[in-house]
Amino acid sequence: MSSSHVTLGSLVGHAKQIGLLTRAIGADRVGGAYLFAGVAGLGKKTIAAAFAAALNCLASHDDACGVCASCRRAADGNHPDIAFIRPDGATLRIAQIRELQRLISLKPHEGRYKVFVVTDAEKMRAEAANALLKTLEEPPGSGVLILTTRSIDAMLPTIRSRCQALRFLPVPVDDAVAGLVARGVDADRARILAIRSRGRVGSAIAMLGQEAPPAEGAPSPIGDSRPMDAFRLAAEWQADPGRLEALLSWYHDLLLLCTDPSAPVEHPEHVHALRALARRETYSSLRAKMLAVMDATHRLRRNISAPLTLETLALQLVETPLTSPWRRANLV
Ligand SMILES: [Zn+2]
């Protein structure tokens, strides 16, 4: 597992779900099987790891203390009673499930529980899922199985009905900011990360270790309506398709500001220019442009002619003049 000691109490957001897990440990009513469901990047695996550590902590009863021998091993990823089972390529193989079943039936080495976290559980094929059903029907008393999935609907109903399902959602931006600040992240940076990750705290924390993109790398928003500029832009995008992705983040900011001029944005350093631009656009025109960028990205992935796709996109985007504010802000 990643990094330092993770405790349930130190996690950001998801208070209801974490409260439920904490109370279950405290009351000795830990379920045999849990299903953590929610989109990627929410921190489901981190929460599972914290739950596993809390279940086996030697010092504290309802959370991990973070410092005992068991918590240290859990944090280092070498606790003998905690295992993560990840898909081997595109699928979780039946051999992996059979090995899990063999191990979960044994007594814990040193902890109170044997905890198995099966990640991306929707990648189990029917054969593996059916094998797992046996364990879910008769879980050994000291075994705890945590399945994580991006989509609860992708799980077989027979699996779902035998697990206690916890659904996770992106956390509100303000909560994510507060949580990141509590972890020692500078307030401005916390706000940018919270917005950029759209409240997916796992993603925000993963971004922490990365350098902020240099200002030079910021996308050139569309700044001119002349067709010749459109062709220049198309050539630039073809040379560096990452710019299209970046372009989306600018349109996302404009959309936010269009509905709320004081909304927190991904590019706070350009907020004045962005506000000026947002005033000249309508929500529907911005939305149409954003969709055009997404559509072009999709076409490129399908190997549809890059020059044609990008020139068409550039012409669509420059149709409405967006000249002066960009120039004033030296964005183009
Ligand atoms: Zn501990």
CA of 98 to the centre of ligand 1 (A): 30
Q: What separation in Å is there between the alpha carbon of 68 and the centre of ligand 1?
A: 4
CB 231 within 8 A of CB 311: yes
pLDDT of residue 150: 92
Query: Rounded to the nearest whole angstrom, what is the distance from the C-alpha of residue 28 to the centroid of ligand 1?
Result: 17
Question: Both 226 and 203 in a single domain?
Answer: no
How many domains are contained in the chain? 3
Shared domain check, 151 and 34: yes
Rounded distance from Cα 56 to ligand 1 centre (Å): 7
Domain membership flag for residue 42: yes
Cα angle at 303 between 298 and 306, to 5 degrees? Answer: 85
Asked if residue 183 and residue 156 are part of one domain, the reply reads: no
Q: 12 falls in which pLDDT band (50, 70, 90)?
A: confident
In which band, very low, low, confident or very high, does the pLDDT at 226 lie, cut at 50, 70 and 90? low
Coil, strand, or helix at residue 91? strand
Mention every residue, 6+ apart, whose C-beta is less than 8 A from residue 92: 85, 86, 118, 120, 121, 123, 124, 125, 128
Instruction: Give tens-digit pLDDT for 60-111.
Output: 888 999 999 999 999 999 999 999 999 988 899 999 999 999 999 999 998 8
Q: What is the pLDDT of residue 223?
A: 47
Distance 70 CA to ligand 1 centre (A): 6
Q: Tell how far the Cα of 74 is from the centroid of ligand 1, in angstroms.
A: 9
Q: Kindly state whether residue 3 falls inside one of the protein's structural domains.
A: no
Give the residue numbers spanning the domain of 191: 173-208
Instruction: Identify the three-state secondary structure at position 57.
Output: coil
The larger pLDDT score, comparing residue 274 to residue 130, is at 130
| Residues 125 and 187 placed together within one structural domain of the fold | no
% the chain with pLDDT above 70: 88
Could you tell me the distance, in angstroms and rounded to a whole number, from the CA of residue 55 to the centre of ligand 1?
9
Q: What is residue 21's predicted lDDT score, i.e. its pLDDT? A: 97
Tell me the mean pLDDT in the region 215-224.
Answer: 41
CA of 111 to the centre of ligand 1 (A): 11
221 with 203, same domain: the answer is no
* pLDDT score at 325: 43
Going from the Cα of 13 to the center of ligand 1, the distance in angstroms, rounded, reads 22
Comparison of pLDDT for 185 and 220, the residue scoring more: 185
Q: How far is the CA of 7 from the centre of ligand 1 (A)?
A: 9
Average pLDDT, the chain: 84
User: Which residue type, as a one-letter code, is found at position 122?
Assistant: E
Are 18 and 141 within one domain? yes
User: Residue 4's pLDDT is what?
Assistant: 57
pLDDT at 319: 60
Q: Over 70: is that where the pLDDT of 210 sits?
A: no
Distance from the CA of 83 to the center of ligand 1, in angstroms? 17
Shared domain check, 23 and 148: yes
116-153 pLDDT per residue, tens: 999 999 999 899 999 999 899 888 889 999 999 998 99
The CA 230 to ligand 1 mean position distance, Å, reads 60
Same-domain check for residues 103 and 139: yes
- Asked whether the CA dihedral 180, 181, 182, 184 is positive or negative, the reply is positive
332 Cα: distance to centroid of ligand 1 (angstroms): 54
- 17 with 127, same domain: the answer is yes
- The verdict on 83 and 55 lying in the same domain is yes
Is the per-residue pLDDT at 199 higher than 80? yes
CATH code of the domain containing 324: 1.20.272.10
Between 324 and 182, whose confidence is greater?
182
Q: How far is the CA of 141 from the centre of ligand 1 (A)?
A: 21
Give percent helix, percent strand, percent coil of the chain, each to the nearest 5.
Answer: 55, 10, 35
The pLDDT assigned to 276 comes to 80
Tokens of 161: 């009905």
